[in-house]
Amino acid sequence: MKLVLFLLLLITLGCSKGPETAQRERHYALTGKVVALDARSQTATVDASAIPNFMDAMTMDYPVKSRVDFDKLHVGDRIEASVNVAGDGVYDLSNIQVERAGK
């Protein structure tokens, strides 16, 4: 009987929800115009179009994941990029494709 109770306890513990596990990172396609850059914090302020199922069109600061991506940006550039959103609300830009202003 004790063995059965012990096994039931193990099964119950194995099925119970433990601490929150990290959610999978989500990725959204962003298009917009770079309106400001901050090299110190490696952020780009982007006037972005609406991102379906994520957010309305708005201008906001985005940390840029890669220094290489950040260094190719200039104010006025139109860009396409990936917005990466972690389960804890942390976000950044990556895979940035630039169309220079005036093209």
Tens digit of each residue's pLDDT (9 = 90 or more) over 17-68: 544 545 688 999 999 999 999 999 999 999 999 999 889 999 999 999 899 9
Spell out where 1-103 has E strands. 26-38, 43-48, 58-63, 78-85, 91-99
Max Cα distance, the chain (Å): 80
For 36, the domain range is 24-99
Q: Is residue 93 part of a domain?
A: yes
Q: What is the pLDDT of residue 60?
A: 95
The count of structural domains within the chain is: 1
Q: Is residue 7 part of a domain?
A: no
Euclidean distance between CA atoms 31 and 50, whole angstroms: 8
Q: Is residue 2 part of a domain?
A: no
Tens digit of each residue's pLDDT (9 = 90 or more) over 66-95: 999 999 999 999 999 999 999 788 999 999
**What CATH number did the domain enclosing 74 receive?**
2.40.50.320
Q: Is residue 55 part of a domain?
A: yes
Residues with Cβ < 8 Å from 43, sequence gap 6 or more? 37, 61, 62, 63, 64
